[in-house]
Amino acid sequence: MSVSLRHFICSAGLLCLAAPVFSQSSSNGIAAVVNGNVVTKSEVRDAVNAQEQMLRIQLQNDPAALKRELSNLRANALDSLIDRELVLAEFKRLGAAIKSQWVDDDINSIVRENFKGDREAFVKELANSGMTLKKFREMREKMMIVQAMRGRQAAEQPPATPREVEEFYKKHVAKWRTGDMIKISTITIPKYSGDASASPESQRKLAQEIRSKLLKGADFATTARTYSLDSHAEDGGAWDWMGREQMKPSIANVAFNLKTGGLSEVIDDEAAYIILTCDAVKYGTPKPMGEVREEIERVISAEKSKAIVDKWMDTLRKRAVIKKFGW
């Protein structure tokens, strides 16, 4: 499947896959029943697979974040599909309707902007992904309904106050800084050391034992010279000053969140387990608050909207009859 089409299939998230009804004896299996409507196990699996593909593309350079997001996705997949059913049921209860023309316009826009107006190529790409045009249309319609219902709830809210903007800016000032520099020291334990008796699991255990020694007061530089197997081990694990852009995102995100002298957790970084400490940090200059005010106001607005929608969804869940069987 092309990335562009996968985007439109996944952009609806776990809320948009159709919900065919099967008997409980079906090999497909029932994952949940929401107010009498069935969510099947295959729906959950299909939704997870689609989302996983997108995450692997988006986070291919940040394995730690990918692992975390995949775990969250799998943990919340069934609840997300249940929420979809609740929103669609509320839409139906209100007697609302979505015009067919709106869905047609949405699909025509996808064809025009991503397939240069070639509808035949669009349908062929759908077929290659194992999806019919009818199924895709159902997904987009459900997505539009869910978005409209959520937007309806969050439409009325007060704008961000000057105090809220100022507090947000101070709390997230690092986001608008440029030129941050950091000095770190690392201890690197490869997952495959060349020792036939060692395994990734035993190496991870070793890294955790080393971290425990450091927490109890062991000298980082001495420990690095003893255990570390990277190019900086002889220097006690010490690196020269680096900017965020010079570091792998998975390492930079951890390093810049440490206080000076702080010790990281054991980082699972592809071929090795890494422990790092922040030796020193020099912060760059942030953009003035006035330059980022509009951006901050949009973020605060989005957070307020989410809070309103979350409260609404909680109300829908409390008055619904939900049976979960797992997937």
The confidence band for 28, taking pLDDT boundaries of 50, 70 and 90, is: low
135: confidence class by pLDDT, cuts 50, 70, 90? confident
Of 39-53, 81-95, 208-222, give the lowest mean pLDDT range: 39-53
Q: Which stretch of 29-33, 69-73, 90-94, 124-128 has the lowest confidence by average pLDDT? A: 124-128
Please name the residues in contact with 121: beta carbons below 8 A apart, sequence gap of 6 or more.
115
How far is 151 from 146, CA to CA, in rounded Å?
A: 8
* Alpha-carbon distances of 193 from 230, 250, 316, rounded to whole Å: 12, 22, 53
Residue 27 has pLDDT above 50, yes or no: no
Q: How many residues does the chain have?
A: 327
Residue 16: per-residue pLDDT: 38
- Confidence band (pLDDT; 50, 70, 90) for 156? confident
- Please check the confidence at residue 1 and state whether its pLDDT lies above 70: no
pLDDT above 90: residue 222: yes
d(CA 59, CA 69): 9
Residue 6, pLDDT score:
54
Distance CA(245)–CA(178), nearest Å, equals 10
Question: How far apart are alpha carbons 174 and 179 in whole angstroms?
Answer: 10
- Beta bridge partners, 272, equal 190, 269
Element of type H or E holding 285: strand 285-286
Strand (E) or helix (H) holding 33: strand 30-34
Closest listed residue to residue 80, CA positions, set 36, 46, 109, 115? 46
Range of weakest confidence among 48-57, 160-169, 212-221, 317-326: 48-57
* Nearest alpha-carbon partner for 15 in 131, 150, 119: 150
pLDDT in tens, 104-128: 999 999 899 888 999 999 999 888 8
Give the tens place of pLDDT for each residue, 62-71. Answer: 888 888 899 9
Domains and their CATH numbers in the chain: 3-158+301-324 (1.10.4030.10), 180-282 (3.10.50.40)
Q: How confident is the model at residue 195 (pLDDT cuts 50, 70, 90)?
A: confident
Taking each helix axis as running N to C, give the angle between helix 3-10 and helix 41-58, from 0 to 180 degrees, rounded to the nearest 10.
130
* Element of type H or E holding 39: strand 37-40
Give the model's pLDDT for residue 59.
Answer: 82
